[in-house]
Structure 1
């Protein structure tokens, strides 16, 4: 039994060395910007750059927009499929996995082709249109993860009973989704949101080909021109990703449908309750 227990521990140690070794070496290299001394000068240089702050702010805003748009798209779709169209669930799951099969470069060239200057809807001719295409691209890339998170959350709660109760009190389908379904899958949406944010923040292909000042293209440009700052950026991006993963794990441990605070039912659901 001791030998059997020793093998998993040895594998874990080897795996930790394999994955943490390059990270430690990168962190050590990022501290050697000043010759002969270990300093945080590379991090200070990155954080004091206006270009870095602008790229981070732009990508963060686009990622947050992608989270909102993705939630508004996925939650009603997954809810309706589970409630009314269960036979189409396998088809919808297959469609949601398509972004894992189609390369992002194909996706962005499709955007340019369909929404170019000669199309009926020329989104590529304006800054607002290009930013909208970027957000749609982020939503598409994160669709497999957002859909899985929301669909698992809907599988835990009894959406049929909740829908019947809301409709018996006079709620429309739209109001049921907004005031009943969304609050009960909040933790699932948050889990999908963190994955969406992590994917969108460092995305390079779509952001670069659409010529947007995002964080991904900024990291590539810094890596071409400087030595120590890219290492600092890599450590910062890695730390940020792990923070998102930790937050995702925290929210994922809460069962979808259970909330820390009691839910107050809307007035239209209380007016007939005696």
Structure 2
């Protein structure tokens, strides 16, 4: 048994070193802005930069709007597909996976072609319209992750039984979706939300070609003109991504099946 554990241990160790050594080297380099000593000067410069604050705030707001749009679009769709149109599930899954096949640069050029200032829908003629277009583009890019997360969460519960039980107690479809289905797929929605947040924070192509002050283009701009600040920004972006994964594990660890009995019992009491 000891011999059988040697090979997996070696493989895991080599894989960990493959990822950790560049990370540690980047962290060490980011702390050498002051010659001859380690300091957090590069991080201080980054956090004091008004462009960092503006671009990060812009991307956070765009990410929150994308999460809301994605949840409003995906949750009812996944619910109706599983409840009423199971035969269309394969087609919907194929459509939601298209953003992984179509490059973002093709998507944004299509947007600019259709919604330019000379179009009958001049979305890009104003700053607000361009921001809306950017958020819609982010929603498309995050659609595979949001849909798969929500669809997997709904697959873990009995949608039909919950719906029939709630309808027998007098609940409307809107009430069923908001007060029965959503609480049981909360973990799945949070999983898709944190993945969406991580994607939007680091996205470059859409924001750059639409000329919006997002965090991704700011990372590229600093990386092309500075030495130590890009390493600090890389560590900050890495920390944000891992924070999203940590929140996903912290808040998204609920088991949907545990809420089935309490949900039906609550509606049963109200029905009486």
Q: TM-score, normalised by structure 2?
A: 0.94
Which residue of structure 2 lines up, in the alignment, with residue 118 of structure 1? 118
- Report SS of the residue matched to 2:119: coil
Distance 2:130 2:102 in 1: 21
Distance 1:187 1:18 in 2: 31
Name which of 254, 267, 273 aligns with 2:271: 273
- Which segments of 5 or more consecutive residues in structure 1 lack a partner in the other structure? none
1:271 Cα deviation (Å)?
8.4
Where does 1:10-25 land on structure 2 (aligned, <5 Å)? 10-25=10-25
Which residue of structure 2 lines up, in the alignment, with residue 210 of structure 1? 210
Tell whether 2:18 aligns with 1:34.
Answer: no
1:270 Cα deviation (Å)?
6.7
Superposition RMSD on alpha carbons, in Å? Answer: 1.8
1:156 Cα deviation (Å)?
1.3
Where does 1:1-274 land on structure 2 (aligned, <5 Å)? 1-258=1-258, 273-274=271-272
1:225 Cα deviation (Å)?
1.1
Q: TM-score, normalised by structure 1?
A: 0.93
Q: Which structure is higher in helix share?
A: 2
Residues 119/174 of structure 1: CA separation in 2 closer, same or farther (3 Å cut): farther
CA contact (8 A) 1:186 1:257 kept: no
Residues 162/152 of structure 1: CA separation in 2 closer, same or farther (3 Å cut): same
Distance 2:210 2:198 in 1: 20
Residues 9/200 of structure 1: CA separation in 2 closer, same or farther (3 Å cut): same
Distance 1:91 1:56 in 2: 36
Deviations 1:135-172 (A, max 9, x none): 11111111111111100111111211221233234433
